Structures are given as C-alpha cells and as structure tokens.
Amino acid sequence: MPCNQGRGLYRLLIIISLLFTCAGKTYCQGKISVTAGAGFYELFNAGLQWNYGEISSLSVYGGYNFGINDVTQWSAGIAFDQTYRKPVLWKIRAGYSLGALLWTSDDERYYFSNVAFPFMALLAFPVSDAVTIRAEGGMIINVPVVSER
C-alpha cells in the first residue's frame, strides 16, 4: 500500500477525534465507549470498551497496519483497565492495564504469530466529556506460536 494511504488514515483518525470532542457526551458513553489509537510498528487499532464500574473497564480491540513498509501486521486482544479517580497532576489520572493479545507479522522474509501479555501503567487526560487521551507503557511477555523464515 502506498504511503499516501497511511497518511490519509492519520487524517481520518484526527477528524473522528475532533468530531467526538465537539459532539459532547454521547448517549451510551457511560457504559460503552469506542476506542481508537496508533501503536508501535504503525499498527492502528479500534475497539469497544465496556465501562462496568466508575474506574474499571473491559476492552476488546483489533489492529492492522494497512501494509505500511511492505509488512502485513494485525492484532486482536482483550484488556482490563482501571483508572483511579483522583488526579495525579492537574487533570491527569493514573491507572493500569492488563491484557492478552494475538498478533502476527508477515513480510517477504518472515512470518510469525505471537501471544502477548501486556502489563501497562497508564496516564489518562480528559480532553472533554467525550474524549480522553491515554498513554500506556510497561512490560509485555511475548510467546511465539508460529515462526517461519
């Protein structure tokens, strides 16, 4: 896929984020949220998050890199998140995320499939009632399932 299509996707994600920011609080946001993001290796992801408690949620998500750099990658996973109510600094709240995901990478030299278990610390910054920006970092335990050269 040409690099121009990857830039177009970035623009689309920015436009969608702006629409959610301007739209205010949606009807079902108290229980169900839509998530989107970009991660390592230019992998774009989208998912659903069930906010079953005031600070706790369960997520299901999938990701794809749209063939950027002649490598095909995809992922699918689940996660449990907790974000504490009391801000650490200004409006930034701390929390953690535990999950499991299956991800693959395929190019002309390699094909591999892995199961990974991320243990992440997170910081969440509410931009508006409808949009929160979140940064995560931590440790991932990775187990190869298939590895071919």
pLDDT in tens, 95-134: 999 999 999 988 888 898 999 999 999 999 999 888 888 9
Query: φ, ψ for residue 69 (rounded to 5)?
Result: 65, 30
Closest by Cα among 114, 113, 112, 105 to 70: 105
Rounded Cα distance, 51 and 58, in Å: 7
Can you give the pLDDT at residue 10? Answer: 55
pLDDT in tens, 22-62: 544 444 446 888 888 887 666 888 899 998 888 899 999 99
Can you give the pLDDT at residue 3? Answer: 45
Higher pLDDT, 18 or 100: 100
CB atoms within 10 A of CB 63: 20
- Is the pLDDT reported for residue 17 higher than 70? no
Query: φ, ψ for residue 131 (rounded to 5)?
Result: -130, 135
Contact between 44 and 66 (Cβ < 8 Å): yes
Rounded Cα distance, 60 and 37, in Å: 13
Query: φ, ψ for residue 110 (rounded to 5)?
Result: -135, 150
**Residue owning tokens 């499991």:** 100
